[in-house]
């Protein structure tokens, strides 16, 4: 990757870790899961373009850290022994103080108290650094590690195994990235988790029955699309194949895009596979009918989600499972009104 490419590209997560401790196990699992969720990660340390023997952080790496939304810092037994890791951490914490990045500390087989107070193994490492490094540089390292230790993080000793920690981190990052994306697009959906919880009642992800078709209806704004994207991001990993189709890219006039979609499904051999298909902002019954021709190829447990502002499209298509965004918002507003007017708990929310 060239310097120009790093300058222009924005990333989702920067990973800081000691490769000798965690590079072949925990980080390898975490990296794989993040990539599966389409999380953008800088290539440094994965393709060995940057050598750990370098004495200073390169401008490219510094821009990669500053261009990321999250930094996952895995503090393992020998993290504080590495000048390279500590230099990275100084840069990460600088961006944290500026408010441009969120840090997620992972204390991997390390007591957070030892990191914060710099005792035990950490004290031994810094004694070594003080005999070799510039005094001011070591002070910066100490402060960065202390600041990180004061951030609430994930302690591996409290988890059953590494896979649970990896799942927790990827879930946390994916949800926050999705919320950030909807806000950036100016389409934030108030109470997104409440909507997701209500929508889950229609999903039934454990079902082994035939294809389930679910509609999301809202008359006015694009909040139905925000919800559909949020649902897709949170459940697509449960399916063997998954697609998110936007109406603008599914023009029916000459069936060109539809043909490309059918060709893509054929290439992925979706026949009898568990498939998730989200078709966003369907405007005409003909669009749905054209897609429905493919549903017979989907395997048991497959789910199709259709969003539209025309309720007639759903009824004419025979879709009985419909989530009404506006109705859910009415219930929320009505519940708040009751609490204010009568100062009583809304029993429907229990």
Inter-residue long-range contacts of 1-5, CB under 8 Å, 24+ positions, other chains counted = 1/43, 1/49, 1/60, 3/59, 3/60
Q: Which residue has the tokens 């999250």?
A: 70
Residue 218 contacts residue 330 (beta carbons within 8 Å): no
Residue 16 contacts residue 72 (beta carbons within 8 Å): yes
Three-state DSSP string of the chain: CCHHHHHHCCEEEEEECCHHHHHCCHHHHHHHHHHHCCCCCCCCCCCCCCCCCCCCCCHHHHHHHHCEEEEEEEECCCHHHCHHHHHHHHHHHHHHHHCCCEEEEEECCCCHHHHHHCCCHHHHHHHHHHCCCCHHHHHHHHHHHHHHHCCCCEEHHHCCCHHHHHHHHHHHHHHHHHHHHHHHCCCCCCCHHHHHHHHHHHHCCCCCCCCEEEEEECCCCCHHHHHHHHHHHHHHHHCCEEEEEEHHHCCCCCCHHHHHHHHHHHHCCCCCCCEEEEEECCCCHHHHHHHHCCHHHCCCCCEEEEEECCHHHHHHCCCCEEEEHHHHHHHHHHHHHHHHHHCCCCHHHC
Which residues, 6+ apart, have CB-to-CB distance to 183 below 8 Å? none
**171 an active-site residue?**
no
Distance of CA 218 to the CA centre of its chain: 26
Which member of 33, 60, 87, 88 is catalytic? 88
Which residues, 6+ apart, have CB-to-CB distance to 119 below 8 Å? 113
Tell me the catalytic residues.
Answer: 88
């Amino acid at each position: 990757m060239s310097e120009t490419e790093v300058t222009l590209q924005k990333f989702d997560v920067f990973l800081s870790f000691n490769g000798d401790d965690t590079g072949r196990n925990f980080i390898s699992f975490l990296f794989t899961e993040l990539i599966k969720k389409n999380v953008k990660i800088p290539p440094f340390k994965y393709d060995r373009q940057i050598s750990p023997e370098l004495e200073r952080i390169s401008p490219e790496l510094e821009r990669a850290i500053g261009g990321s939304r999250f930094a996952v810092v895995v503090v393992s037994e020998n993290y504080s022994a590495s000048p390279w890791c500590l230099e990275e951490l100084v840069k990460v914490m600088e961006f944290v103080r500026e408010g441009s990045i969120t840090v997620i500390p992972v204390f991997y087989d390390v007591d957070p108290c030892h990191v914060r107070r710099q005792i035990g193994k950490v004290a031994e490492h810094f004694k070594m650094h003080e005999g070799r490094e510039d005094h001011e540089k070591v002070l910066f390292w100490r402060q960065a590690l202390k600041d990180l230790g004061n951030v609430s993080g994930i302690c591996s000793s409290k988890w059953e195994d590494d896979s649970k920690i990896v799942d927790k981190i990827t879930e946390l990052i994916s949800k926050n990235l999705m919320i950030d994306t909807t806000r950036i697009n100016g389409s934030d959906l108030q109470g997104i988790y409440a909507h997701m919880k209500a929508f889950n009642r229609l999903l039934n992800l454990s079902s082994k029955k035939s294809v389930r078709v679910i509609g999301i209806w809202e008359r006015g704004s694009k909040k139905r699309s925000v919800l559909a994207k949020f649902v897709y991001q949170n459940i697509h990993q449960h399916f063997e194949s998954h697609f998110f189709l936007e109406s603008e890219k599914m023009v029916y006039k000459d069936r060109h895009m539809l043909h490309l979609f059918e060709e893509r499904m054929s290439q992925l051999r979706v026949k009898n596979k568990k498939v998730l298909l989200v078709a966003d902002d369907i405007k005409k019954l003909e669009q749905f009918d054209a897609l429905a021709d493919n549903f017979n190829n989907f395997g048991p447990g497959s789910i199709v989600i259709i969003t539209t502002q025309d309720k007639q499209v759903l009824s004419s298509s025979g879709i009985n499972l419909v989530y009404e965004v506006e109705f859910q918002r009415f219930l929320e507003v009505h519940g708040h009104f009751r609490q204010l007017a009568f100062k009583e708990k809304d029993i429907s929310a229990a």
